[in-house]
Amino acid sequence: MRSVNIGLIGLGTIGRGVYDAIIQNGNMISRRAGVSLSLKGVCDRDPRALKGIDKRHCPVVTDSADELIKDPGIDIIVELIGGLEPAGDIILKSISGGKHVVTANKALLSARWKEIFEAASRKGVFVKFEASVGGGIPVIRSLRESLVANRFDKIYGILNGTTNFILSMMADKGSSFKDALKTAQEKGIAEADPELDVSGKDAAHKLSILSLLGFGVDVPGDSIFTEGITSIGPQDLRNASRWGYSVKLLAIARDSGDGLSLRVHPTLIPSRHLLSGVKGEDNAVFVKGDLVGEALLFGKGAGRKPTASSVMGDIVEIAGHLANTGRPSPVFPKLNYDPDKKLKDMEDLNIPFYLRFTVIDKPGVLAGISSVLSENKISIASVSQEERKSGKQVPVIILTHSSREGDLRKAIQKIDSMDFIKARTVVIRIEE
């Protein structure tokens, strides 16, 4: 049986999961795939990460990525260090050395996919990235293979486990954002530095990859309109629930005919929507295609074993091609890049909104707010003032009918400058 040699760079949570999977499931994989996987070397800059590596399973243990990249016996480099650099350099050097690459690096792919895939195409090597979006959920393969014949209207979903865990805990237990984040960190769900997650950037990087595959657009994650979850309070989740909604951080790509809208933000969705039932660190991606109709992909969006499962799938796929043909598939998978695809301006989005104003409870306040909304062509669907505290601060909640985002922003800016407004108004978009 042909043996395919792997060099694993980055032995953090996911890297360890891949190491364990090769060792524990290696024989089963060989039987299934007809190819033997051999871990030739592992690399990490932190000596603590390399502790306990069994040299019988993995002869090369090093802190130098170059040692693996330059090793002529290695067929596939698995990059699991994340971030832009040195990951970018490692991947490009591996490609130029003729090695196939497997990566989970959404930040890098979302920023530099063109350069990476052009280099891979020139060299005739694979770059596989199933683990970059949705952890263990096979979303990349589904879009590129099973669903490739579809014209998509929508691809949207919950693409970040940390924020979904936090919002679920705030909704179900009434926890504050801070306490829910602390629990997520204690459970090992959130990173020590959760900025990428709570700011929505991690989800934006993933959306950038999905929208390249599904709609052919080249929009780096950092250019996608992104709002995180830090301004959402437990009261917003309670209010939403009273009106029959839950709040989720959604990543949305929607082609409405007049352009593709890409955005990541907290969103009110009806409680009966399937995504409302996606709790904790789970992820789910909805796609709507002209052939398949609606399809939902659901599963663990993060974590050692689920993410390792996706990385292993990529490794085995490449290994299978190498064992069977000795070279990559003749139909080298193309990315569906469409430079002419029109993007929709966020200001032209037309959707309903949830607004939480913090006001002084006194005559004329509601009239003041509603007249500015009306001046800006925003129509009110429901209003509620939950507390009565004459002369004191209270929340007023307004749900609007579908309104233009640009008009709403103008109205909120004006309202927030009024003397009875005591805190920045919380605006959450609604998807029906």
Catalytically active residues are 206
Question: What does the angle CA 183 – CA 186 – CA 188 come to, to the nearest 5 degrees?
Answer: 110
Q: Is residue 227 a contact residue for ligand HSE (CB under 6 A)?
A: no
Task: Give the footprint of ligand HSE on residues 290-319 (CB under 6 A).
Answer: 301-302
- The distance of closest approach from Cβ of residue 14 to ligand HSE in the complex, given in angstroms and rounded to an integer, is 9
Q: How far apart are CA 428 and CA 270, in angstroms?
A: 13
Shortest spacing between CB 91 and ligand HSE, in angstroms = 17
* Angle subtended by helix axes 161-173 and 234-242, to nearest 10: 70
Q: How far is the CB of 423 from ligand HSE (least distance, A)?
A: 28
Tell whether residue 134 is a contact of ligand HSE (CB under 6 A). no
Helix, strand, or coil (residue 100): strand
Q: Considering only the stretches 143-151, 155-163, 367-375, 422-430, report the one whose residues sit in contact with ligand HSE under the rule CB under 6 A.
A: 155-163
Beta carbon of residue 197, minimum distance to ligand HSE (angstroms, whole number) = 5
Question: Interface with ligand HSE by CB under 6 A: which range of 22-30, 159-167, 220-228, 239-247?
Answer: 159-167
Cα separation, 211 vs 207, in Å, equals: 6
Rule CB under 6 A: choose which of 88, 136, 161, 200 binds ligand HSE: 161
Q: Which is nearer to ligand HSE, 39 or 139 (CB)?
A: 139
d(CA 251, CA 206): 8
- How many of the other CB atoms lie within 10 Å of CB of 176? 13
Residue 353 near residue 428 (C-beta atoms within 8 A)? yes
Q: Candidates 156-164, 318-326, 363-371, 396-404 — which segment interacts with ligand HSE by CB under 6 A?
A: 156-164
- Size of site (CB under 6 A) for ligand HSE: 8
Instruction: Identify any residues that bridge with 9 across adjacent strands, giving them in sequence order.
Output: 43, 79
Q: Quote the least distance from Cβ 131 to ligand HSE, whole Å.
A: 9
Please give the residues from 166 up to 205 whose contact with ligand HSE meets the rule CB under 6 A. 191, 197, 202
Strands 353-360, 393-400: pairing kind: antiparallel
Pairing relation of β-strands 282-289 and 260-270? unpaired
CA pseudo-torsion sign 359, 361, 363, 366: positive
- Give SS3 for 387: coil
Q: How far is the CB of 10 from ligand HSE (least distance, A)?
A: 13
Q: Which of 94, 162, 175, 425 binds ligand HSE (CB under 6 A)?
A: 162
Other CB atoms within a 10 A radius of the CB of residue 206 amount to 27
Q: Does 160 bind ligand HSE (CB under 6 A)?
A: yes
C-alpha–C-alpha distance, residues 44 and 90, integer Å? 13
Q: Which stretch binds ligand HSE (CB under 6 A): 158-166, 238-246, 348-356, 390-398?
A: 158-166
Nearer to ligand HSE, 208 or 425 (CB): 208
Minimum CB distance to ligand HSE smaller for 183 or for 385: 183
> DSSP code of 357?
E
Q: How buried is residue 346: exposed, middle or buried, by Cβ count under 10 Å (0-12/13-18/19+)?
A: middle
For ligand HSE, the binding residues (CB under 6 A) are 160-162, 191, 197, 202, 301-302
